[in-house]
Amino acid sequence: MHTFERVSDREFHFAGRRILVTGGAGFLGSHLCERLLSLGAEVIAVDNFYTGQRRNIYHLLSNPNFEIIRHDITFPLYIEVDAIFNLACPASPVHYQYDPVQTTKVSVHGAINMLGLAKRRRCRILQASTSEVYGDPSVHPQAESYWGSVNPIGPRACYDEGKRCAETLFFDYWRQHRLPIKVIRIFNTYGPRMRMDDGRVVSNFIVQALKGRPITIYGDGSQTRSFCYVDDLIDGMLRLMSTPEGITGPVNVGNPEEYTMRQLAELVIKITGSQSPIVTMPLPQDDPKQRCPNIEMAKRVLGWRPTIAVADGLAKTISYFRDVLVSDTKGADSDAFAE
């Protein structure tokens, strides 16, 4: 935890504030917008809809305190706000590797533009960083003091190094301009509003199980991940943003309970009641063997720890995907009938 000379010991409250959320139509962004509105904030969501989905924010459009702007943050944005949550960036390998140059631009140019806006407004800004900054770690579990082990020229580097550079920019703005920053390192998060095609393990397993298709695990399935339900993650994000200005992070937020990929697949099969078999495929390049957060700092500084058990969170997520699959099937049937 960096505790440079404090700018202010004032805590931040959301009620009555105008809050900008980049990536606001995404999985995490839409949940954040919803929570901020419930706290009495006025929310401006910005999204270019590369991975964000209108269905994620449709229920918010009638709220007079919510606004959505279609914009790519690799270009400057001129707007009057009281705080910024910078979540804009494709977060799944399928999407960030599809256009790796743009992924790096979003992380780096996007950070520069949002930091510039925060500097002009003299407002606090939170960077949604990632456990990917630790790469394929040689330290387990990963604490914030660990510098990571990242391949800077591999296929995942556009995201890993982009996020690392964004953290560098945030801390340089703190040191050089005393801009009140917050950096959260997000570990695997899941829940309703994930995209079915994002290629992440939870969504992959659930969709495959619900469709009765083989569940694909990579390697022998012994690699581990930790899974944090979205409500817990958003709570940690809000707590960090609310801390006094001198508390900058980075802070790990995630569930320290580890699951192997095979264990997760078996749990999804059990909850869905699927008959899907488990099949193996080659392990992708630079795929981490272990990923688990040390959350002692989050406990101490934020008073935060996850509260939702993985099985309970999976049940909610499975229910969401089941509804989406039914809805999409009905939509396809009605379109076919209309033709």
DSSP string of 37-93? HHTT-EEEEEE--SS--HHHHGGGTT-TTEEEEE--TTS------SEEEE--S--SH
Q: Tell me whether residue 159 is one of the annotated catalytic residues.
A: yes
Name the DSSP class of 134: G
The residue behind tokens 């977060």 is: 91
Is residue 275 in some structural domain? no
Is residue 113 in some structural domain? yes
pLDDT of residue 333: 41
Q: Check: CB of residue 79 under 8 Å from CB of residue 57.
A: no
The residue segments making up the domain with residue 88 are: 18-190+229-255+292-306
* Number of structural domains found in the chain: 1
Is residue 236 in some structural domain? yes
Look at residue 248 and give its three-state secondary structure: coil
Cα 319 from chain centroid? Answer: 21
Helix, strand, coil percentages in the chain from 3-state DSSP, rounded to 5: 40, 15, 40
Look at residue 30 and give its three-state secondary structure: helix
Is residue 92 in some structural domain? yes
The residue from 96, 159, 190, 229 that is catalytic is 159
Q: Is 221 left (phi over 0), alpha (psi -120 to 50) or beta?
A: left
pLDDT tens, per residue, the chain with 339 residues: 444 333 445 668 899 999 999 999 999 999 999 999 999 999 999 999 999 999 999 999 999 999 999 999 999 999 999 999 999 998 877 778 888 999 999 999 999 999 999 999 999 999 999 999 999 888 889 999 999 989 899 899 998 999 999 999 999 999 999 999 999 999 999 999 999 888 889 999 999 999 999 999 988 888 888 999 999 999 999 999 999 999 999 999 999 999 999 999 999 999 999 999 999 888 777 667 788 999 999 999 999 999 999 999 999 999 999 999 987 766 544 433 233
Is residue 213 in some structural domain? no
- Range 3-18 burial, b when 16+ CB lie within 10 A, else e: eeeebeeeebebeebb
Beta bridge partners of 19: 43, 83
pLDDT of residue 219: 84
Residue 73's domain is classified under what CATH number? 3.40.50.720
